[in-house]
């Protein structure tokens, strides 16, 4: 091989190795878009917009939120997976995407193959609610009614594989109920229909649903965590109310397309963690029933892996399928 070819090849290698650090040093110099694979108005959307606004201040560039709901987060996540790995497209991830890894193995992407972890944001309990006019007032009432009328009751969710879907399936399987899943394209439609009485029950996030519970628009039967929610201290956990061992919380975080330069990932992680460690943010989110989560990228990656394994075992053990 000619020496001049060796020199040219060596030069290309050097230039390519210098390109990533240079791009990271200049980052960001234009608008960053955050793909949110959920409908507007839900808890994921609300908390990400707070982070987006705070990142705009610290990074000096606009953070544009793009809601891409549908197919249990697959539509938005697929779009993000196809985006350039340059730090200018980020993905909002939640527990939903970790369940979809098992529920839909034929999708075009793999979460831990096609994305890199950036940072988690928060976790929170869900709450099981029924319409204000529902004949049931406790979880035991609901279980009794569902067993007396198999197949007659339904529960809404924000889409197949969503946190709300899996929380309902867990009730269905652990309590041995025959209830029908009604998937929506995002939580907003399901929320409107639970208030109007068009569906029989649904799980929703505590921060979103608490004002409606307090306003008497729906009735709360139980929260989904291991301990009672400080926002709804008078509402028992689902485990307390009649389904021992029940536990299903939600969380959200940020990922980026695989290949995003590590210095950019580290910069985003540092800036997000600074925001999450601020006392005003922590107190504001705590009042809304959300707990901030602070991790390094590799730690967050291990957390996501563990969630994929956890939900995968549950899905296979209970024969849960997307319907």
Say if residue 50 is exposed, middle or buried (CB neighbours under 10 Å; 0-12, 13-18, 19+): middle
Fold classification of 29-123+250-318 is D-Maltodextrin-Binding Protein; domain 2 (3.40.190)
What is the Cα–Cα distance from 314 to 103, expressed in whole angstroms? Answer: 11
Ordered strands of the 290-292 beta sheet: 63-67, 32-36, 89-94, 250-257, 115-124, 290-292
Q: Kindly tell me the number of DSSP H helices and DSSP E strands found in the chain.
A: 13, 11
Backbone angles phi and psi of 170, in degrees to 5: -65, -40
Tens of pLDDT along the chain (323 residues)?
444 544 444 444 444 444 555 556 789 999 999 999 987 776 677 788 899 999 999 999 999 999 998 887 899 999 999 999 999 999 999 998 999 999 998 999 999 999 999 999 999 899 999 999 999 999 999 999 999 999 999 999 987 778 888 899 889 989 999 999 999 887 889 999 999 999 999 999 898 899 999 999 999 999 999 899 989 999 999 999 999 999 898 899 999 999 999 999 999 999 999 999 999 999 998 888 888 999 999 999 999 999 999 889 878 877 777 65
For the chain, the domains span 29-123+250-318, 126-241
pTM given for the model: 0.79
The predicted-structure confidence for 230-279, as pLDDT tens digits, reads as follows: 899 999 999 999 999 998 988 999 999 999 999 999 999 999 999 999 99
Fold classification of 126-241 is D-Maltodextrin-Binding Protein; domain 2 (3.40.190)
Looking at residue 237, the DSSP 8-state letter turns out to be B
The reply to whether 29-123+250-318 and 126-241 are identical in fold is: yes
Q: Give which of 154, 185, 170 is closest to 72, Cα–Cα.
A: 185
What is the Cα–Cα distance from 203 to 207, expressed in whole angstroms? Answer: 12
What Cα–Cα distance (Å) separates residue 144 from each residue in 136, 148, 224?
9, 6, 19
At residue 160, the pLDDT reads 77
What is the Cα–Cα distance from 260 to 24, expressed in whole angstroms? Answer: 10
Copy the structure tokens of residue 139: 């979880």
Helix (H, G, I), strand (E, B) or coil at 203: strand
């Amino acid at each position: 091989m000619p020496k001049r070819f060796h020199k040219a090849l060596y030069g290309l290698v050097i230039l390519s190795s210098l390109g990533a650090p240079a791009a990271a040093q200049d980052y960001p110099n234009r608008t960053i878009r955050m793909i949110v694979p959920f409908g507007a108005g839900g808890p994921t959307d609300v908390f990400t917009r707070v982070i987006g606004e705070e990142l705009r201040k610290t990074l000096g560039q606009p953070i544009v939120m793009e809601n891409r709901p549908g197919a249990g987060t697959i539509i938005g996540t697929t779009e993000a997976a196809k985006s350039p790995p340059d730090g200018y497209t980020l993905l909002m991830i939640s527990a939903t995407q970790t369940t979809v890894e098992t529920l839909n193995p034929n999708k075009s992407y793999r979460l831990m193959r096609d994305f890199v972890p950036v940072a988690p944001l928060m976790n929170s309990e869900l709450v099981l609610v029924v319409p204000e006019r529902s004949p049931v007032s406790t979880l035991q009432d609901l279980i009794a009614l569902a067993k007396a009328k198999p197949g007659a009751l339904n529960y809404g969710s924000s889409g197949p594989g969503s946190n709300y879907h899996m929380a309902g399936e867990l009730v269905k399987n652990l309590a041995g109920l025959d209830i029908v899943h009604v998937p929506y394209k995002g939580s907003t439609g399901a929320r409107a229909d639970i208030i109007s009485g068009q569906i029989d029950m649904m799980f929703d996030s505590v921060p979103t649903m608490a004002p409606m519970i307090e306003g008497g628009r729906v009735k709360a039967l139980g929260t989904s965590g291991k301990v009672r929610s400080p926002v709804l201290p008078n509402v028992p956990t689902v485990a307390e109310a009649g389904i021992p061992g029940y536990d299903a919380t939600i969380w959200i975080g940020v990922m980026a397309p695989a290949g995003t330069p590590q210095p950019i990932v580290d910069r985003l992680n540092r800036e997000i963690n600074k925001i999450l460690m601020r006392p005003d943010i922590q107190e504001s989110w705590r009042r809304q029933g959300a707990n901030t989560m602070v991790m390094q990228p590799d730690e967050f990656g291990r957390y996501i892996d563990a969630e994929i394994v956890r939900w995968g075992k549950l899905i296979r053990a209970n024969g849960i399928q997307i319907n």
